[in-house]
Structure 1
Amino acid sequence: MSIEPIAGRYLTAEIAGRRQRIYFEEAGQGRPVLCLHTAGADTRQWRHILNDAEITASNRIIAFDMPWHGKSLPPEGFQTEEYLLTTEVYMETVLKVAETLGLDRPVLAGCSMGGRIALQLAAQAPERFSGFIAIEASDFQPAWYDIDWFHRPDAHGGEMGAALVSTNISPFAPEAERWNTLWMFMSSGPGVFRGDLSFYTRDESLTGRLNDIDTARTPVHLIVGAYDFTCTPEDAARTAAAIPGATLSVMEELGHFPMSEHPAGFRPFFVEGLGKMPGMDRIAAE
């Protein structure tokens, strides 16, 4: 029997003029690292990093559920509206969480849509962070699928989302972690995955801002899985090449949800990324 060191709490903040009650988890001490989950998922994706004693010995790892996700409820009146995430609200949410928690220029680490918004913040609010780790992230990814399949009266949106997700998980992923990852999408709220993908597949505003990122001021490191065909290594390489001074690592045996689908395979790449950020003590990669 054991009790994990992760502590979960709630914060309340006003975002886009509305009161939001947001769930977050944290573990460790030292330099703050704020972690963002993928579309349609939640903070459970980061549980292995939060439980890593070597990483948390010198890093305060914090992950939160976006509003509408996981343990963060939608705002009051949600039943009368359609959930569609926007770049502006997403950035405001991340900034407001960091401010409410009193984080002094944390490292921002995000995966998929979280990686995309990390790059947006690197371009538009670099003074608020000390560095950026963008995982499975690129400047723009048009949909190769119909996002409306994830919110229909004649199909279970969570199961449809999991079916899409399963195609982007590496065949090297342990079976248990593959299904743990899929469960997060199966249990997503109605229309939430679709609303996130609306942002991820339709917002092209980052493509014109990559040159605004100053890596001499705040380093940017991209990490991508070779088995990711939503954000391919070529997509990540194209994006990294457009950011002067950005670095890139390719994970040969991982897919689009690396911290969740294959925690042991992801760990050394995340440690490498942390090592490129300011104020980092050395952590064993293995």
Structure 2
Amino acid sequence: MNENDDLSPGPHLLRVDGLEQRYHVYGSGPVCLAVPGGPGVDWEYLRAPALEEFLTVVYVEPLGTGGSQRLPTHPDGYTRARITRSLAALLDRLSLERVFLLGHSHGGFVAQHFALHHPGRLHGLVLYESAPVTGPEHQAEAATRVGEFVARNAAHPELPAALAGLHAAGTVTDDEEITSALRALMPVYFAHFWSRESEFGPLRERVRCTYISPLDEHGVPDRIDDREALAFLTVPALVVVGRYDVVCGPRWARELHALIPGSRLAVLAESGHFGHLEEPTVFADAVRAFVRSVPVRVLDGSTEGNGR
């Protein structure tokens, strides 16, 4: 049992960096912060029980999402720098010197930023469906990948509705509308959603999203280009990608792997954007092998293994 009450199992709410932050704790082992994507998608979709068998997973609800407090500038201002500050403050409140950090999708963008600015706070970094850059190049690659999805599913009667949801997600600015769009487009984010709808349909029905803009507090787009900086990243890193991901697919995973010195790459052969749901055992085995490979620094400066 963890002696830190703030790391006891279940939901928690702390005031960090002047704002209320909600998080959820499950599992046992070294602590791993898990940051969901979107931005704005509720944390529950990211829950991965297979990881909780060997990690104490702290699922963070980023500022502006779910039970965490919104910024005064909402829906603007949720930059990577702002979220990084809140994560660092959370670690301080939890009295955690170093942790593993897993970021999914937009959470991966945040995790990269955190690792580049606070490498001393991390044992290791898991970039799960992330990319080193956003903007026109990223959008063009996503369009190509969506085209491949359409070709694979051209005969499915629900394809037009999924594509309509994908289009709507880029135009709506309301919480209910963005949630409806996310539910509609979700098949595009899986490798084989319709053939496994009995498994993934319930998630589709309950997932929720808060609209968060891509602008900073001054109305300026929060552009991302970490290519130059990642070449100097010193944190041990694992890059995980689904072969069929249309958002942050294999091209970006290979680029991250090439950029980050000493990184590992795991490609999930039958997954899209949600490999922890489509191939949970393969996903967890890749993370477990990575965690075991990274010496965990303890408070006295010595190291110990992760042999679980």
Task: Tell me the TM-score range normalised by the shorter chain.
Answer: 0.7 to 0.9
Matched, 1:281 2:284: no
Matched, 1:244 2:261: yes
Give the direction of change, closer, same or farther, for the CA distance of 1:119–1:8 in structure 2 (3 Å limit): same
Shift, 1:73, TM fit: 3.4
- Give SS of 1:240's match: helix
**1:10 aligns to what?**
13
**2:301 aligns to what?**
none
Report if aligned partners of 2:168, 2:181 keep a CA contact under 8 Å in 1. Answer: no
1:130 maps to a residue whose letter is: H
**2:201 aligns to what?**
179
Give the distance between the partners of 2:260 and 2:293, measured in 1 at CA: 16
- Equivalent runs, 1:133-212 vs 2, <5 Å: 133-142=126-135, 143=139, 144=143, 148-151=170-173, 156-171=177-192, 174-183=196-205, 185=207, 187-189=208-210, 191-192=211-212, 194-195=213-214, 203-212=223-232
Give the distance between the partners of 1:177 and 1:72, measured in 2 at CA: 29
Shift, 1:84, TM fit: 4.3
2:306 maps to a residue whose letter is: D
1:65 maps to a residue whose letter is: E
Give the distance between the partners of 2:76 and 2:278, measured in 1 at CA: 27
Give the distance between the partners of 1:237 and 1:13, measured in 2 at CA: 35
Aligned positions, number: 260
1:258 maps to a residue whose letter is: G
For normalisation by structure 2, the TM-score amounts to 0.73
Shift, 1:108, TM fit: 0.6
Shift, 1:208, TM fit: 2.3
For normalisation by structure 1, the TM-score amounts to 0.78
Give the direction of change, closer, same or farther, for the CA distance of 1:70–1:94 in structure 2 (3 Å limit): same
Shift, 1:263, TM fit: 3.4
Give the distance between the partners of 1:242 and 1:277, measured in 2 at CA: 19
Give the direction of change, closer, same or farther, for the CA distance of 1:163–1:72 in structure 2 (3 Å limit): same
Give the direction of change, closer, same or farther, for the CA distance of 1:53–1:35 in structure 2 (3 Å limit): closer
Q: How far does the alpha carbon of each residue in 1:27-76 deviate from its partner, in whole angstroms, 9 at most, with x for none?
A: 23432111111113232134333x76632xxx32211101221222324x
Shift, 1:152, TM fit: 5.8
Shift, 1:243, TM fit: 1.4
- Give SS of 1:270's match: helix
- Give SS of 1:48's match: coil
2:228 maps to a residue whose letter is: G
**2:31 aligns to what?**
32
Q: How far does the alpha carbon of each residue in 1:70-116 deviate from its partner, in whole angstroms, 9 at most, with x for none?
A: 222324x46xx433421211211221111211112001111111112
1:37 maps to a residue whose letter is: P
Shift, 1:223, TM fit: 0.5
Give the unaligned 5+ runs of structure 2: 1-7, 144-166, 216-220, 297-304
Q: Could you tell me the percent identity over the aligned residues? A: 21
Give the unaligned 5+ runs of structure 1: none
Decide which moves more: 34-43 or 221-230. Answer: 34-43
Shift, 1:281, TM fit: 3.4
1:41 maps to a residue whose letter is: V
User: RMSD between aligned alpha carbons?
Assistant: 3.1
Q: How far does the alpha carbon of each residue in 1:148-207 deviate from its partner, in whole angstroms, 9 at most, with x for none?
A: 423269x8221112333431112068424423443454x223x23x449xxxx9522312
Give the distance between the partners of 1:176 and 1:72, measured in 2 at CA: 31
**1:257 aligns to what?**
274
Give the direction of change, closer, same or farther, for the CA distance of 1:141–1:129 in structure 2 (3 Å limit): same
Report if aligned partners of 2:22, 2:61 keep a CA contact under 8 Å in 1. Answer: yes
Give the distance between the partners of 1:126 and 1:230, measured in 2 at CA: 26
Give the distance between the partners of 1:41 and 1:226, measured in 2 at CA: 22
**1:117 aligns to what?**
110
Give the distance between the partners of 2:126 and 2:253, measured in 1 at CA: 12
